[in-house]
Structure 1
Amino acid sequence: MQHLKNDSKNKSKQKQKVTIAQAFKTIIWPRKNLVFIGLILIIIRSLAGLILPWQSKVLLDEVVPNKDHTQLYYLIGIVISAISVQAVSSFLLTRILSVQAQFLISELRAKVQKKVLSLPISFFDNTKSGALVSRIMSDVEGVRNLIGTGLVQLVGGSFTAIVSLIILIKLNPWMTLFVFVPLSIFGYIALRAFKYIRPIFRNRGKINAEVKGRLTETLAGVRVIKAFNAEAQESAVFEAGVEKLFQNVKKSLTATAFMTSSSTFLIGIATTGIMGIGGYYMMQSEMTTGDFLFFTLILGFMIAPIVQMSNIGSQLTEALAGLDRTEELMNMTAEEDNEERIINLESIKGEITFNDVSFAYEAGKNVLHNISFKAPAGSVTALVGSSGSGKSTIAGLSATFLNPKSGIITIDNQDLSKVNLSSYRKYLGVVLQDEFLFEGTIRENIMFPRPDASEEDLQNAVKAAYVNEFTDRFDDGLDTLIGERGVKLSGGQRQRLAIARAILANPKIIILDEATSNLDTQSEALIQKSLTQLIKDRTTIVIAHRLSTIRKADQILVIEAGKIVEQGNHDQLIAKEGRYYDLYTYQAKI
């Protein structure tokens, strides 16, 4: 029932949106010292920028009319100093905040990836791996605009605009009022546009993840695509996704273009009005040429942050939309977050007991019905039955990849639902039906569960699984690169490598899910020898379609339609002449 509860909790949490206040509290405030330095630098840069307009007024109204060469040199020195201060402060601003922003992105990516790995298997069963890659790598990108120059520019620019406004009012309040009206209209339009844009950015992240997810699947399944001549079909699916993404981008670009054109039009009106009013005042000798130039240049300082608002506002909106999706993941319930999992296993014997266990992937559709059996410590329990009967589900429950809907599973008489997962899984070894190998060398893949294993342990595992039977033929031996998912190896070779990995892990409990399904007769014979060593004194749950591989199992469970229909050892079940007898004699004929 726990996985169903977790799903409902996760859905309720996903509806929440990240606000500026939350982003400030969790991202900006912990880095307040750096942000404060950034604000100081941008204020220094902005004040230094005001020197040029001010000195331009002095040049026109005092220096040129008086032909004062000394004051001219002094003025040039002040302007050069101001430009130098601007350049240095700009460099430091970018260096400090941009680097910190990139550090934050890498930190967040690591944090999100760690969270994703802590989620239950059911989450991965319902989510494309490519979509998850997009969410881990892309959704946090926008954070650079919160801690980087984006937000600081907005705050610093606002400071510059306020200082500029005070100067403009002192210069000419009527001209300032004329400018302020169209700018206020633009500000209102921009705020309305941002509310419209945020859902678009949020949806873009979702579409982007879907497109990348499909692309990842396409590249991984390229052999199947080519085998069925389905290139055109896959291209059409990808094009449809790209078109959907384009339509989303078009919406945001349209909104941004509307803001930009509105700013151009309204600022154009303001500029035209200033020319007219300023010209009138100069003709009336109520304003000097220097005053007019000073006013126009300072006006630029006030308008610039407001014009930038469309760009910076879009960046911040995109950042918050990305944080929304990141928060969805971070708020999901991890496997270990179950408060009932308080039992830490210091050591185990390995006795597994299923007591009246039922399981459903979807509510109301049980795939297991009241399963009960005991796998004594050190014994071999084999699961047989037709495809879809529930064998792999029993294996998944034994590995704690799944949680029962009802009933209890125990390990050494301890309720498995209350056991800390890490303390249980360190005693667990699994060889999956679809064995997964990482890109790299044979050595790296075998040592995956124990990177610090000795060379002696490694060689023992290699020999036990008969991996050396084929690696001895490779020029690089164990250091041979196997390609993505081990594509350079045969099915049997990949299977033996996976078994060697399980042997090196030295577990107390082993789950073999179709461990010999991909082997030819010769490889299977070799593996059977290694399995005999692997399962010795270990609790083993093995699934196999080839019934000849499990004749020596201590007990065999025949599973059909999610129920145990027969139970016993090979000889007992053959003597019954029931379902197992039918399966065994049918395979013997084949």
Structure 2
Amino acid sequence: MKHLSTTTTKKDKRKSKVTMIQAFKTIIWPRRNLVFLGLLLIVIRSLAGLILPWQSKVLLDDVVPSNDPSQLYSLIIIVLSAILVQALTSYVLTQILSVQAQFLISELRAQVQKKVLSLPISFFDNNKTGGLVSRIMSDVEGVRNLIGTGLVQLVGGTFTAIVSLIILIKLNAWMTLFVFVPISIFGYIALRAFKYIRPVFRTRGKINQEVKGRLTETLAGVRVIKAFNAEEQENLVFEQGVERLFQNVKKSLTATSIMTSSSTFLIGVATTGIMGIGGYYMMQNAMTTGDFLFFTLILGFMIAPIVQMSNIGSQLTEALAGLDRTEELMNMTAEEDNEQRTIELQNFKGDIEFKDVSFAYEEDKDVLHKINFKAPSGTVTALVGSSGSGKSTIAGLSATFLNPKSGTVLVDHQDLSKVKLNSFRKNLGVVLQDEFLFEGTIRENILFPRPNATEAELQNAVKAAYVDEFTDRFDKGLETLIGERGVKLSGGQRQRLAIARAILADPKLIILDEATSNLDTESEALIQKSLNELVKDRTTIVIAHRLSTIRKADQILVIEAGNIVERGTHDELIAVGGRYYDLYTYQAKI
């Protein structure tokens, strides 16, 4: 399904507002067959609803005076038939429109989630996970009011109100005019209220996103919170967020209550006037009792939908506010949407080269300054240096998680900024310092990059990363559940599992970010063996604090303050006696 406001310009993408016309074109019109069938059923149901007041007039003016039981029986059959028609059409409407609305919600959620995953890493760095979950799951909920209940009430109520108005005018034009004045005033108040409510609903979505985002972080970091005895602090932050949400809801409730109370007062005035005018006409014999009852019942049919408009309007306003926020996401540029990315890599070798590459996370604050180096295919390039020197930034640029501010990153002599990401990343393997594991079994986590790998390939990865060294001690072996983010495993076990996953992926380019940082001495020795197998005949970029693990690297780059201050092999750099020598000898003493 196409997303909304596809003609929105880049300038106003972030401020796009979805109109009812756009919603109709993109959501309702593609489902016009079902919607038109629904509208037909709404018309039938509304007409059937008018049978009861009409037959009430017939009962008082014709059937009772005639004293004819057969007419009474016929009237009862007609009324029961009308009620049955109403019940059946209501059931079918629910099956057609409400079910379709829920299907649309699931479809939209899938599209939004797909869009979110297509966005660059920088987007996720600036947005909380819980907030994104809220946008994917909650913002599209209001769509059901466009296809389901809201549409049924709006169209059905409007049709009923119009038909009722025509009948009322024919019955008594003056009484109808008297009613029309307070209803018009109510309509004006409602329109003003809806204009006020929409930005309130839009703000509510943002507050929800922030509160849920913080709550997700709190639950994920519960060990840190308890370790620092910070429960009260987190409780206060959450309470403040909930208070902001309450104040927002209070604003919308205030506007809704104004509409509700004004409708109660104005309709009460209209009803009182009708009693007076109707009573006068009946005293003058200008109106029968049946006519007055018929007028009163039909008046209810006209007023009820109008009063419901306050509720319907709130539903539709909330739906459009949610779609506004959804549209912001859908209008964002995905990584693969870059028109410059036209190169499809063939026969990937893994030659990496940085040419005068500079990068900044913030304007005018470069963290890399004209970096130049080559990492030939099949070689190991190690990045060392103090924390914050720019090592992880170089790794991020190599993995296309970041894009250079200036300069060029080349892969197989092609400008990486012009290469289709899919053709590059299918040859990429990454083992991070704080590796992410999914809730599930050890087997499922290793198979993540290649779900269809054979058992032999899986076992080879398990043995190569020495995962079997600890899984053999578990009752369920590879079927052991590891908990959220692998919380049931030790740091070393999680790291070995991550390396097994990389081995199974069989990439041509590997980026290892502190791959042995969480390992004890015994585990490090085991992993070092498996890493030697992993990097064989593959281009490897290694970030390491433990310099003993990179002695066999083909080249070592010493990074300080975003510059390469030294480069060479381990022996060459030791012989120079510079920064690398200082770092290595300092660690050796420790």
Tell me the TM-score normalised to structure 2 length: 0.98
Amino acid at match of 1:298: I
1:200-211 paired onto structure 2 within 5 Å: 200-211=200-211
Which residue in 1 is equivalent to 2:428?
Answer: 428
**CA offsets, 1:542-578, max 9 Å, x none?**
0010000000000000000000000000000000000
Contact 1:93-1:149 within 8 A present in 2 as well = no
- CA-to-partner distance for each residue in 1:86-125, whole Å, 9 max, x for gaps? 0000011111111000000000000000000000000000
Residue 535 of structure 2 corresponds to residue 535 of structure 1: yes
SS of residue in 2 equivalent to 1:361: strand
Task: Report deviation, 1:66.
Answer: 1.1
For residues 428 and 12 of structure 1, what CA distance do their matches in structure 2 show? 36
C-alpha distance in structure 1 between counterparts of 2:164 and 2:66, whole Å: 28
Number of the residue aligned with 1:502: 502
Letter in 2 for 1:190: A
CA deviations 1:143-189 (Å, max 9, x no partner) are 00001120232012101100000000000000000000000000000
Deviation at 1:466, TM superposition (A): 0.3
Partner of 2:117: 117
Structure 1 equivalent of residue 271 of structure 2: 271
Partner of 1:4: none
Distance in 2 separating the partners of 1:126 and 1:65? 78
- Residue 71 of structure 1 and its aligned partner are, at CA, apart by 0.4
Structure 2 residue 405 is the aligned partner of structure 1 residue 405:
yes
CA distance in 2, matches of 1:284, 1:209: 64
For residue 5 of structure 1, what is the aligned residue in structure 2?
none
Deviation, 1:10, is 6.6
Letter of the 1:580 counterpart: Y
**1:17 aligns to 2:5 (yes or no):** no
Within 2, Cα distance between the matches of 1:120 and 1:362? 16
User: Structure 2: 5+ residue runs without aligned partners?
Assistant: 1-8
The aligned residue for residue 39 of structure 1 is: 39
Partner of 1:6: none
Opposite residue 175 of structure 1, the aligned amino acid is: M
Q: Is the 8 A contact 1:35 1:152 kept in 2?
A: no
How far residue 60 of structure 1 moved from its aligned partner, in angstroms, is 0.4
Which residue of structure 2 lines up, in the alignment, with residue 564 of structure 1?
A: 564
1:244 aligns with 2:244: yes
Q: Residue in 1 aligned with 2:312?
A: 312
Instruction: Encode CA deviations 1:488-531: one digit per residue, 9 max, x unaligned.
Output: 00000000000000000000000000000000001000000000
Q: Distance in 2 between matches of 1:433 and 1:449?
A: 18
CA distance in structure 2 between the aligned counterparts of 1:442 and 1:251, rounded to whole angstroms: 49
Pairs aligned (count): 582
Percent of aligned pairs sharing the same letter:
85
Distance (Å, rounded) in 1 between the aligned partners of 2:441 and 2:156:
52
Match of residue 194 from structure 1? 194
| Residue type at the aligned position of 2:93 | L
The code of the aligned residue for 1:160 comes to: T
- Counterpart CA distance in 2 for 1:440 and 1:10 is 41
1:189-239 Cα shifts (integer Å, max 9, x gaps): 000000000000000000000000000000000000000000000000000
What CA distance in whole angstroms lies between the structure 2 residues aligned with 1:32 and 1:153? Answer: 17
* 1:305 maps to amino acid: P
Letter in 1 for 2:389: S
Query: How many angstroms apart in 2 are the aligned matches of 1:301 and 1:45?
Result: 13
**Aligned partners of 1:226 and 1:10: how far apart in 2?**
45
Q: Secondary structure at the match of 2:50?
A: helix
| Alpha-carbon distance in structure 2 between the residues aligned to 1:536 and 1:342 | 30
Over 3 Å off, 4+ runs: 9-12
Structure 1 gaps, min length 5: 1-8
* Counterpart residue identity of residue 192, structure 2: R
In the aligned structure 1, how far is the partner of 2:209 from the partner of 2:397? 30
1:351 aligns to 2:356 (yes or no)? no
AA aligned to 2:182 is: P
- Counterpart CA distance in 2 for 1:179 and 1:353 is 80
Q: How does 1:296-375 map to 2 (within 5 A)?
A: 296-375=296-375
Once the 2 structures are TM-superposed, how far is the Cα of residue 433 of structure 1 from its aligned partner? 1.3
The one-letter code sitting in structure 1 at the alignment partner of 2:16 is: Q
Aligned to 2:288: 288
C-alpha distance in structure 2 between counterparts of 1:300 and 1:18, whole Å? 34
Cα drift, residue 47 of structure 1: 0.2
Q: Distance in 1 between matches of 2:484 and 2:135?
A: 22
Matching residue's letter, 2:197: I
Deviation at 1:11, TM superposition (A): 7.0
1:391-414 deviation per Cα after TM superposition (whole angstroms, max 9, x unaligned)? 000000000000000000111101
1:367-404 CA-partner distances (Å, limit 9, x unpaired): 00000000000000000000000000000000000000
Q: CA deviation at 1:65?
A: 1.1
> Match of 2:203, SS?
helix
Give the C-alpha shift of residue 347 in structure 1. 2.0
**C-alpha root-mean-square deviation of aligned residues, in Å?**
0.7
